[in-house]
Amino acid sequence: MSNTFIDAHCHLQDPRLSDRVDAVLRQAHEAGVQRFMVNGTREEDWAQVEELAAKYAEIIPNFGLHPWYVQSRSEQWLHRLEELLVAHPGAGLGECGLDKARGDAPMKEQEAVLRDQINLGKRLQRPISVHCVKAFGKLQEMLQQLGAFPHGLILHSWIGPAEMVRPLAAIEGVYFSLSGHITRQSHDKAAAMVAKVPLERILLETDSPDGLPSQRTTNMQPHADEHAEWSPHPADQTLNHPANIRLVLQIVAEMSGHEEAEIAAAALDNSIQLFPPG
């Protein structure tokens, strides 16, 4: 099995991890994770993402406005976002998206903000990382209108319906990034979706510090945070770490029917294509 991984989406700037990044990266390196796509979520954390990327060469910054924070954006948010991306030629755009469950803005407003970000990402020729919760049909419609995406569009922590995989994969540059969130679904539903994802469009991520995989799907033990009491999550939950990407790989392999080595190699190749080494 490949010993090298790229975590296609995580949030090391999150306050639950930001004071222990050295330890988190050390654990991840021991697990074979070499690079980390750290995604911003709002204007207030873009500087933290920028600082992490300046301090750690293995962190690739991504800047974007998450749907949860659409209503708190400033008037200059899009200009600020473009300035950051221009200042960091290797950065991606993300996290952006649609969320009917927790988004603080009406869907029409979320859609307009997402469209602005996708258009910016395409114009600047950057990979785009997209969040979607309970808005899969609308997202598919938007991507079919706005595609192709020659520099990549990543469906982050994808848990959408299996029947959407084929039409989305037909759009040039759309990738499916799989994480521990798939263990929140029924096994059969998740496996039906994972089995349809083409290897040439698969990515692996942890979405750390969220997305800790459920242990019901595997015998492997997740790397749980040693300071779980610091987490705002319920007492029975602990923080996710990028080192758990091996656990994600095991789960995806079991659901897809492919060998772990085959998935790991494909995900690594796809990640390098989207984020070539500087």
- Predicted confidence (pLDDT) at residue 226 exceeds the cutoff of 60: no
Summarize pLDDT for 19-59 with one digit per residue, the tens.
Answer: 899 999 999 999 999 999 999 999 999 999 999 999 999 99
Predicted pLDDT of residue 217? 53
Angle between helices 187-194 and 245-256 (to 10 degrees): 80
88 is in an annotated binding site: no
Mean pLDDT, the chain, as a whole number?
92
| C-alpha span between 256 and 276 (Å, rounded) | 27
> What is the average per-residue pLDDT within 174-181?
98
Beta bridge partners of 99: 133
5-274: CATH, from 3.30.160.40, 2.40.240.20, 3.30.360.10, 3.20.20.140: 3.20.20.140
Q: With cut-offs at 50, 70 and 90, classify the pLDDT of residue 214.
A: confident
- Report pLDDT for 201: 99
Pairing mode, strands 33-39 and 59-63: parallel
- What mean pLDDT comes out for the span 249-256? 96
Is 43 among the annotated ligand-binding positions?
no
Q: Tell me, what's the pLDDT at 238? A: 76
- pTM of this structure: 0.92
266: left (phi over 0), alpha (psi -120 to 50) or beta: alpha
Q: How far are the Cα atoms of 58, 99, 117, 125, 210 from residue 221, in angstroms, in the given order? A: 25, 31, 38, 39, 16
- Give the whole-angstrom CA distance, residue 162 versus residue 156: 15
Give CA separation, 251 vs 40, 84, 217, in Å: 27, 36, 7
Answer yes or no: is pLDDT of 1 > 90: no
So what's the pLDDT on residue 207? 96
Is residue 188 a known part of a binding site?
A: no
| pLDDT tens digits for range 130-169 | 999 999 999 999 999 999 999 999 999 999 999 999 999 9
**207 has binding-site annotation:** yes
pLDDT above 80 (res 261): yes
Query: Known binder of ligand: residue 241?
Result: no
Determine whether the annotation assigns residue 163 to a binding site: no
The predicted pLDDT at position 236 comes to 38
pLDDT value, residue 265: 97
